[in-house]
Amino acid sequence: MIAAEDLVALVRNYNPTTNEKLIIAAYEYGREMHEGQKRKSGEPYFTHPVAVAAILTEQQLDDATIITALLHDTIEDTRSTYADVAEKFGTEVADLVDGVTKLTNLQLSSSETKQAENFRKLFMAMSKDLRVILVKLADRLHNMRTIRAMKPEKQGQKARETMDIYAPLAGRMGMQSMREELEDLAFRVLNPEGRSSIIRRFITLQKETGDVIHRITSDMRHELDRAGIEAQVFGRAKKPYSIWRKMQEKKIGFSRLSDIYGFRIICQSENDAYAILGVIHQRWRAVPGRFKDYISQPKSNGYRSIHTTVSGRDGKRVEVQIRTRQMHEVAETGVAAHWSYRDGERAENPFAVDPTRWVASLSEQFDAEEDHDEFLEAVKLEMYSDKVFCFTPKGDVVKLPKGATPLDYAYAIHTRIGSACVGAKVDGLRVPLWTRLKNGQSVEIITAEAQTPQATWLDIAATGKAKTAIRRALREANKERFIKLGHELARAAFETHGKKATDKALEKAATTLRVKNVDDLLARLGSAEVSSREVVEAVYPDLAIKEDSTVEAKRAVVGLAHGQGFDRAACCQPLPGERIVGLALPGRGVSVHTIDCEALASHEHETESWLDLHWADGTHPPVYTVTLEMTIGNDAGVLGRICTLIGEMKANISDMEFIDRKPDFFKIRVNADLRDAEHLHSVMSALDAESNVASVERRRDPALEHVLVPKV
């Protein structure tokens, strides 16, 4: 463990005016509070806060942040209180420690609805003081560095959470070094065989080709010296996870992956950066389509650099990044550049962009969004996406996520333009709305007053803003139909309990569920945003207790009449955990569908036949058949490994069919017996992680509506 004096020395290196006494006092107080506590590894617990503080000194952060790191677990894990910390170290530190404590208590990998609400709280904490998330990221980094002491299942949970949330968040805030290390540490846990395989291939490649990095670095330095440009050149092999991700995205093997080496040139000025680009392109052949100028068009997190890919020795492609020293500081530390010190004063970096603007705009954009799932989807779309830059006909720049379409562009300009969009021109040519936009393209939107958003647009749009606006417009357009359907569902639900869905009852339900009025309540019920069970229980809360005491609660599906059976519709194969609705049709009994089943569209006017159902609480047996379609490699032993993997996930294969055979792959259809939707997700995730599985998806076919899966 680093001693207090050594920690102070690390801070003094970049901040000679540091309050040494206060840091040492925090060190001693933290050690006293954590006395007797141990980590999973058996080490004294206080080694962890000290390590977190040391990580933050690498980013040259202020005293308050370093002290917060030393105390970040005291309020949560010891007898210390907010008042104690405020009295000893001031309200600034106490607020930061309290903020980190609240973030620690957020279960970001929990259920979707709770996860969305926790993301809201995460953004609120970031908006108040970004140093809270800096401490939390350093805390997660040290925990990932020492994760081997945890139980395997806990390692997997933390690694997945790191890969899904913390690493993208660090990247979105411009902290590239931390993002790369978090990704690689999580990759080591989630796919150790894949990571080891890439490392072994690197070792083999080095034996075959020698030290490529040293040779190319020397060549670049020689060319720059000849041109009289002063700059530093660094080369490295890309991280295992970065390489693995490219292999997955491009669906190619390691041997066919070209740009596995990266080189960085740090210069004095922007003029030098462009001059260096010319030197590099004169000496090596540029790869078309692989040039990006983030100096003239910076990323929203402040990142600036010139990227180019060239063919180096032996035709090997290498990526080159060119930037100034100040640009490099922002590229490596991102938001931390706001708080960094140099020679005892806050460092002024003209390229540092305050990410609170991003947090504020994101929170503002989705604060009005009532659907938690939609909010979470939009947040992830914003966090996990790279940017492309397009131009308006007037030459203004519009930033969009990678994979965005003209429809996203239209909504980025204004919601009114997006809703009235009927077509688009890209670089002067008419293109379909689903066209994926590329960097530097000029986009013109064609509108018509009579146009309204279409349901198919949800599949075209890639940005959270566009999807949210489209869904909101569709809800308004379909509100009358949803109100009518909701009224029928409410009537049937109340009558099941011997009650009536009177105006007074519905008004009480709307008030209890915090909905504006009865029409809004019925519209939400009709669009499956709330269940009729929630509406009934809002008026008669005692009915929830009575229902649990009945025999019906022990049945798989709740909401059927006494003695009434059901069949699972083959078109959607509903599972426990999914929202369901029943169709009581003459001669067919009750057919149970998922609420989003496309086959229901043909019955939308038969509201008298709809039954509001839900799955019984508790654990279900693995008897619900779901059809999976997979494309797998045509190699020896692959099919056996797939079957074994499904068995290891406690699922049973009841049928298998080969639907396409090619020399290099098979396409198969597998019927697996599962417990619920969560079980399905686990099985599909495990299959998707298998290297020989090119794709896996759940089969849903509206044409199978009239085929019923046997009763369970």
Predicted confidence (pLDDT) per residue in 464-479, tens digit: 888 888 888 887 777 7
Phi-psi region at 395: left, alpha or beta (left = phi > 0; alpha = psi -120 to 50): left
pLDDT score of 337: 64
Alpha-carbon distance 291 to 309, whole Å? 7
pLDDT score of 7: 93
Residue 336 phi, psi dihedral angles, 5° rounding: -60, -20
The domains spanning 357-473 and 624-709 adopt the same CATH topology: no
Q: In 513-572, which ranges are continuous DSSP H helix?
A: 518-526, 532-539, 542-548
Q: Which fold has domain 624-709?
A: Alpha-Beta Plaits (3.30.70)
Helix axes 372-383, 464-477, angle to 10 degrees: 160
pLDDT score of 31: 94
Q: What angle do CA 300, 138, 136 make, to 5 degrees?
A: 80
Q: What is the three-state SS of 662-701? A: CCCEEEEEEEEEECCHHHHHHHHHHHHHCCCEEEEEECCC
| Domain limits, the chain | 4-190, 194-346, 357-473, 479-615, 624-709
Amino acid at 21: K
Class of domain 194-346 as given by CATH: alpha beta
Q: What angle do CA 347, 353, 358 make, to 5 degrees?
A: 140
Q: How far apart are the first and last CA of the chain?
A: 59
pLDDT score of 549: 36
CATH superfamily of 357-473: Beta-grasp domain (3.10.20.30)
Predicted confidence (pLDDT) per residue in 78-134, tens digit: 999 999 999 999 999 998 998 888 777 665 554 444 455 556 656 665 666 778 888
Q: DSSP letters along 121-143, please? A: HHHHHHHH-THHHHHHHHHHHHH
Alpha-carbon distance 319 to 309, whole Å? 4
pLDDT score of 371: 53
pLDDT score of 258: 61
pLDDT score of 465: 84
Tokens at residue 661, please? 């055979």
Q: Among this protein's residues, is 567 annotated catalytic?
A: no
Alpha-carbon distance 252 to 94, whole Å? 51
Catalytic pick among 20, 58, 76, 552:
76
Q: Which fold has domain 4-190?
A: Hypothetical protein af1432 (1.10.3210)
Q: Helices then strands (H, E): number in the chain?
A: 30, 23
pLDDT score of 711: 45
Q: Among this protein's residues, is 77 annotated catalytic?
A: yes
Q: How many CB atoms lie within 10 A of CB 21?
A: 9
pLDDT score of 552: 38
β-partners of residue 665 are: 633
What percent of the chain lies above the pLDDT cut of 90? 26
pLDDT score of 20: 93
Catalytic pick among 77, 184, 598, 629:
77
Q: How many CB atoms lie within 10 A of CB 656?
A: 14
pLDDT score of 599: 84
pLDDT score of 546: 46
Alpha-carbon distance 70 to 63, whole Å? 11
Low-confidence ranges of the chain (pLDDT < 70): 105-128, 209, 250-259, 300-301, 312-315, 335-387, 485, 492, 496, 527-529, 543-555, 587-588, 661-663, 705-712
Instruction: Identify the CA nearest to 375 among candidates 174, 125, 179, 123.
Output: 123
pLDDT score of 24: 95
pLDDT score of 255: 60
Tokens at residue 217, please? 């670095």
Residue 563: Cβ-neighbour burial (10 angstroms; 0-12, 13-18, 19+): exposed
